[in-house]
Amino acid sequence: MPPDLPLHYHELNGLAPVKTGADATGISYAWSVSGLPAHQGEPLAPAWLNVGPGVLTAPGRVEVEGYAGSISSWQDLSRFMYALNVGRDALPNAVVDRVKALTAPLPDPAAKVRAVYGFLQQTTRYVSIQLGLGGWQTFPARTVAETGYGDCKALTNYTMALLKSIGIPSHAALVRAGAGAPDVLPEFPSLQFNHVVLCVPLAKDTLWLECTDQHGKAGYAGKFTGNRHALLVTPEGGRLVATPRYAAADNGQFRRVEVTLKPAGDASATVTTRYTGLQHDDRDQLRTQLSPDEQRRKLYEAIGLPSFDLTRFALTPDPAGKPALTETLALEVRKWAAQSGNRLFLNPNLLTAWKYAPPSAPQTLPFVTMESFLDADTVTVRLPEGFAPEFAPDPVRIQSKFGQYESRVEVANGTLTYLRRMEMHRATHPAADYPAYAEWCRNIAKADRGQVVLVRKE
């Protein structure tokens, strides 16, 4: 490195310390490893960045087209990004007047923020264009107002300017976005980000706005930017803050199934499922991004039944604007119950059977369980005339550090009711816990395959 340019670095997971040298041309930094064995991939293993040796580097000081700053601390990086974009929030008077008229009748700041967010979604779209400093510096807010488009920085800056015009402060926030993307390393201040969102601190809550999403809900970060850190961009230098965290109860799948079983084993079913939080994301993308024919095709792929017809479906967003969606399906299922003589064999878990069974080979690395979620199913089956249960599985209850599971079957007045509840928690576990986790998954899969035997009374 040039002698006057400091190197900012972070050694990972036991890497040998740096060796430095200096001569007339600059300072050299060197790390070395040897004898590292090849590493077999393992189920649910964390990113190699979290477990393997390595080094991350960044310049301690930066200058881009006349803008100079330090990125050796989060506060310095925030100040540098603010300086790049300061003064680019002027809006046309007509836009300011329109936003003031839109928000004046509303009762509180949260309602005003949601109205501004709706205005943004209706009048702009995301287009990724960077020219010159454009990978770092936003288009002016006036440009977005005039053209109706911008990248994540530009749309965030524009929304921040709209809120400023009605007296509501907010901050751009740098984040590493992407469903399943690893979080930034808090201990290594550097440009680890690929996206910009808007953070709006209010008296009772903080609303996060994804300004590139024309169908997003104000305050909802989802899989794209939730459960991670973001860097607030402020004039005095910001800090890393947590984006919204989603627990199991936030990410629900609440399903009610009404089934009429026919004597030969065919069935008609009506399925009503309310998805919330992270579990609603994929269904909401179907609703907002695909045509009805494409939605039907995707639903056929998602419904795990061997032979059926989807006769009717609907995807209905939450009327209050919450991150939730209700899916309604009408199904004609062929041979749901297998017939043998005067008996029918059926699995009452129509749509939510757990199928993941990780291999039982020992792990050497920690492992990460899936996103936190809560599934609750009630399946009500009207039995064919003359049939009664001959056998039903015993109730199952499985409690562990990974989550909880329970299921049971009840029969009364010609109706069979199957009740199932499963809760799982996202966490990183030591390798020694992997056999217990694999057994937990296998036990749930086995319980979900449990069959009821119905016999025709002579």
| Segment 49-84, tens digit of pLDDT | 888 899 999 988 888 889 999 888 999 999 999 999
Q: How far apart are CA 109 and CA 106, in angstroms?
A: 8
Residues 120 and 165 in one domain: yes
Q: What is the CATH number of the domain that holds 118?
A: 3.10.620.30
Provide the CATH number for the domain around residue 359. 2.60.120.1130
Q: Does residue 16 sit within a domain?
A: yes
Mark whether 371 and 416 lie in a shared domain: yes
Do 424 and 287 belong together in one domain? yes
pLDDT of 49? 84
Residue 2 within a domain: no
pLDDT score at 130: 82
The predicted pLDDT at position 361 comes to 82
Confirm whether 174 is domain-assigned. Answer: yes
Residues whose CB is less than 8 angstroms from the CB of residue 139 and which lie 6 or more positions away in sequence, other chains included: 88, 150, 151, 153, 154, 157
Q: Is residue 442 part of a domain?
A: yes
Per residue in 243-289, pLDDT tens? 999 999 999 999 999 999 999 999 999 999 999 999 999 999 999 99
- Containing domain of residue 150, as a range? 93-242
Which residue bears the tokens 């205005």?
119
At residue 92, the pLDDT reads 97
List the Cα angle 305/310/315 in 5-degree steps. Answer: 105
Distance CA 189, CA 240 (A): 10
Quote the number of domains for the chain: 3
| Burial state string for 241-254 with b = 16 or more CB within 10 A and e = fewer than 16 | eebbebebebbbbb
- 279 in any annotated domain: yes
From 242, 258, 288, the end of a domain falls on: 242
End of a domain among 242, 259, 275?
242
pTM given for the model: 0.92
- Same domain flag for 153 and 118: yes
Per-residue CA distances from 165 to 100, 203, 320 (Å): 8, 19, 26
In a domain, 71, yes or no: no
Q: Are residues 292 and 217 in the same domain?
A: no
Q: Does residue 163 sit within a domain?
A: yes
Domain boundary among 242, 267, 296: 242
Query: Do 254 and 149 reside in the same domain of the chain?
Result: no
Residue 396: other Cβ atoms inside 10 A? 16
Residues 36 and 98 in one domain: no
What is d(CA 266, CA 11) in angstroms, rounded to the nearest whole number? Answer: 62
- Return averaged pLDDT per consecutive 10 residues of the chain, 458 residues in all: 87 91 91 87 86 90 89 94 95 98 96 97 93 87 97 97 98 95 92 96 95 95 95 95 95 98 97 97 95 97 94 96 96 96 95 89 87 96 95 96 97 95 94 94 96 91
User: What is residue 352's predicted lDDT score, i.e. its pLDDT?
Assistant: 95
Under 8 Å between Cβ of 74 and 161: no
300 and 188 in a common domain: no
- Asked if 46 contacts 9 with a C-beta cutoff of 8 angstroms, the reply is no
Same domain, 256 and 282: yes
Q: Are residues 238 and 261 in the same domain?
A: no
In a domain, 158, yes or no: yes
Comparing C-alpha atoms, which of 285, 277, 287 is closest to residue 323?
277
**Whether 257 and 375 share a structural domain:** yes
If asked whether residues 106 and 194 sit together in one domain, one would say yes
